[in-house]
């Protein structure tokens, strides 16, 4: 299996201390910083945007993985790339027929690109664009909030995505996001995920380094 990366979601961080929080993640062994961008329209919550990414870029060398939960992502992907996003993922549900073009736009902006599907969207909807992705993100909760329960149906979708990725023979990461914790992380890895998003499992832990190590080694 590919090297497993832990991507703590800063949605569960203290927003008033974001710089310290991200430095702490890096010191505690995180591999990636997962940035949940929400616009209050595509999802029922609002988080942060370009300026946060731009400022975090200056204080960490970890890759910034920007998960855009916004309508019309095509309007913003170039600016997220410019702000310092290493990888930008966009939802099938926000792009629909445009998905291929939005992914191309991300690539042309110099960032890596990824497609995301919600728990009620079948893998077949993105099957044709998987070969052009650097990463595929399978949601295991409905997006909007941290701390929700893992939806088990995501495991079958991970296996489906893995089969497509293996068949196309390219280096494509498979990310899982939502409700992942020490108890279920071995299952998601076995199903094919190699980039593990964890919000509450990291930020609610007394010892973040131990929590990250436990997720990595499970």
Catalytic residue among 31, 36, 39, 134: 36
Active site residue 177: yes
Query: Could you tell me the smallest distance in angstroms from the CB atom of residue 140 to ligand DX5?
Result: 8
Distance in angstroms (rounded) separating the CA atoms of residues 41 and 88: 19
Active site residue 156: no
Interface stretch with Zn ion, choices 49-57, 61-69, 86-94, 111-119 (CB under 5 A):
61-69
Per CB under 6 A, the list member of 5, 67, 157, 162 interacting with ligand DX5 is 67
Distance in angstroms (rounded) separating the CA atoms of residues 96 and 174: 20
Query: Could you tell me the smallest distance in angstroms from the CB atom of residue 36 to Zn ion?
Result: 4
List the Cα angle 163/167/170 in 5-degree steps: 105
Distance in angstroms (rounded) separating the CA atoms of residues 94 and 73: 7
**Binds 179, which of Zn ion, ligand DX5, none (CB < 5 to 8 A, cut-off by type)?**
ligand DX5
Does position 36 interact with ligand DX5 (CB under 6 A)? The reply is: yes
Residue given tokens 């399978």 in the structure block: 138
| 25 close to 8: Cβ distance less than 8 angstroms | yes
Give the CA-trace dihedral at 198, 146, 193, 115, to 10 degrees.
Answer: -130
Q: Which residues are catalytic?
A: 36, 177
Binding site for ligand DX5 (CB under 6 A): 9, 11-12, 34, 36, 67, 141, 143-144, 146-148, 177-180, 197-201
């Amino acid at each position: 299996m590919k090297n497993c990366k832990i991507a703590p979601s800063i949605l569960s961080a203290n927003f008033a201390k974001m710089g310290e929080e991200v430095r702490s993640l890096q010191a505690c062994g995180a591999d990636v910083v997962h940035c949940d961008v929400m616009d209050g329209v595509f999802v029922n919550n609002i988080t942060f945007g370009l300026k946060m990414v731009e400022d975090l870029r200056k204080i960490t060398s970890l890759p910034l993985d920007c998960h855009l939960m916004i309508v019309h992502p095509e309007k913003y992907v170039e600016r997220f790339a410019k702000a310092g996003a290493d990888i930008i993922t966009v939802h099938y549900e926000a792009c629909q027929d445009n998905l291929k073009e939005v992914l191309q736009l991300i690539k042309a902006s110099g960032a890596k690109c990824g497609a995301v599907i919600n728990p009620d969207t079948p893998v077949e909807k993105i099957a044709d664009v998987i070969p052009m992705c650097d990463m595929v993100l399978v949601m295991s909760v409905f997006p909007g909030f941290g701390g929700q329960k893992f939806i088990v149906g995501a495991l079958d979708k991970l296996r489906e995505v893995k089969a497509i990725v293996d068949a196309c023979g390219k280096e494509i990461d498979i990310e899982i996001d939502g409700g992942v914790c020490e108890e279920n992380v071995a299952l998601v890895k076995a199903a094919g995920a190699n980039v593990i998003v964890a919000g509450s499992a990291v930020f609610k832990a007394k010892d973040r380094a131990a929590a990250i190590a436990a997720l990595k080694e499970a």
